[in-house]
Chains A and B, each alone.
Chain A
Amino acid sequence: KAGVTQTPRYLIKTRGQQVTLSCSPISGHRSVSWYQQTPGQGLQFLFEYFSETQRNKGNFPGRFSGRQFSNSRSEMNVSTLELGDSALYLCASRPEQETQYFGPGTRLLVL
């Protein structure tokens, strides 16, 4: 099976803009999670979706949002970008009750 794919892999934006990141899970996986990785805060959970429903959400401001489509693909959106949003954004998918498998990430740089 193909692994988790994330697009784009790299992205440069300026403060105040918005950005949308995409994640395609492993075939058959219905759960998709998003994590933010920064040098200062490490890996932090953003949210998790299952069958188009958000089941859990981390402690991030409302500027961070996500959604999942009927084919399990997921997008996350960050509005009004701040410099501190520069990070590696990781997507993970899994079958129910099983291990999460991570994609290569999207590296976002906010200038």
Chain B
Amino acid sequence: AQSVTQPDIHITVSEGASLELRCNYSYGATPYLFWYVQSPGQGLQLLLKYFSGDTLVQGIKGFEAEFKRSQSSFNLRKPSVHWSDAAEYFCAVEAAGSYQLTFGKGTKLSVIP
């Protein structure tokens, strides 16, 4: 069974600083990979996804993620954080044909003005 690890429970950054959220997965083959964001009391919004091809993926709101097969990682990055980026971020994987997402525990991002 696949699993997802997000090592950082809570990260605080200053507005304008760069951001990297870590995600490691465990799965026998290359899964489909996703990053979702959740604001308090809200559902999940898709930031970006990786199915195959170019390992650097661009998403919405200026986010990008890089798939590194050798490290089983799919880290999320943003060059300059805005106060509105404060939220909880979830990395997820889906094994092909499983029709289910397996989520990490999430990383809560706080932004200092």
- How far does the Cβ of A46 sit from chain B's closest Cβ, in whole Å? 9
Residues of A within 8 A of B105 (CB): 42
Q: Which of A55, A92, A99, A104 sits near B49, CB closer than 8 Å?
A: A99
Give residues 10-56 of B contacting A (CB, 8 Å).
Answer: 34, 36, 41-46, 49
Interface-central residue, B36, B43, B101, B103, by most chain A CB under 10 Å = B43
Q: Could you tell me how many residues of chain B have their Cβ less than 8 Å away from some Cβ of chain A?
A: 20
Task: Decide yes or no: A45 and B43 within 8 Å by CB, A99-B34, A99-B49, A102-B36 being known contacts.
Answer: no
Please, which residues of chain A bring their CB within 8 A of the CB of B99? 31, 33, 48, 50, 55-56
* Cβ of B58 under 8 Å from chain A: no
**Count of A-B residue pairs with CB < 8 Å:** 47
Are A101 and B100 interface neighbours, CB within 8 A?
no
Kindly state the separation between the CA atoms of A59 and B51 in the bound complex, as whole angstroms: 26
- Report the minimum CB–CB distance from A29 to chain B (whole Å): 13
Residue in A4, A31, A35 with the greatest tally of chain B CB atoms within 10 Å: A35
Q: Which of B41, B43, B98 contacts A103 (CB 8 A)?
A: B43
Encoded as 1 (CB less than 8 Å from any B CB) or 0, chain A from 65 to 102 comes to 00000000000000000000000001010000001111
Find chain B residues with CB under 8 A from A90 CB. Answer: 43-44
Docked pose: A56 CA to B102 CA in angstroms:
13
| B43 and A104 within 8 A (CB) | yes
Q: Determine if A16 is an interface residue (Cβ-Cβ < 8 Å).
A: no
Q: Which 8 A-B pairs have the closest CB atoms?
A: A43-B103, A102-B44, A102-B43, A45-B100, A104-B43, A48-B99, A56-B99, A42-B105
State the A residues within 8 Å of B (CB). 4, 31, 33, 35, 42-45, 48, 50, 55-56, 58, 90, 92, 99-105, 107
Given contacts A45-B102, A92-B44, A102-B45, 13 further A-B contacts (CB under 8 A): A4-B43, A35-B101, A43-B103, A44-B103, A50-B99, A99-B34, A99-B49, A100-B46, A100-B101, A102-B36, A102-B44, A104-B42, A105-B43
